Amino acid sequence: MRYMTDASLADMALELRQKGIDCQTCHKLLRNTEDSRIHIPDGEIAQFLREANGSITLIVMDHDLAEHCKFGKLLHIRVQDTVADCILRNPA
């Protein structure tokens, strides 16, 4: 499985790669640049994931983009949900 981060999580892609996980930013995969200041519409990212036919999971923090993925049945991990699940499973 390959992973792709949204623009707000660009730094995470490098950290995951350093841990041996195949992860790139959406900017690298869609624009061949690491410059996350360049706007990529949510619909374009969703279309890219559709065309990947389930071979890429998006790691996402952006609510609207996560909703695109949810309703489009596209593979994604919403960071807020993962953090909440972790906290609820391991209460202080």
**Could you state, in order of their start, the residue ranges of all structural domains in the chain?**
2-89
Model pLDDT for residues 48-92, shown as the tens digit of each residue: 999 999 999 999 999 999 999 999 999 999 999 999 999 999 877
3-class state of residue 76 by DSSP:
strand
The answer to whether 79 and 59 are in contact (CB under 8 A) is yes
Q: Which class is domain 2-89?
A: alpha beta
Task: Report CA-CA distances (Å) from 33 to 57, 77, 80.
Answer: 19, 23, 26
pTM, 2 dp: 0.93
pLDDT digits (tens, 9 = 90+) for 18-43: 999 999 999 999 999 999 899 999 99
DSSP sequence for 38-60: S---HHHHHHHHHHTTTSEEEEE
Sign of CA dihedral 91, 67, 75, 9: negative
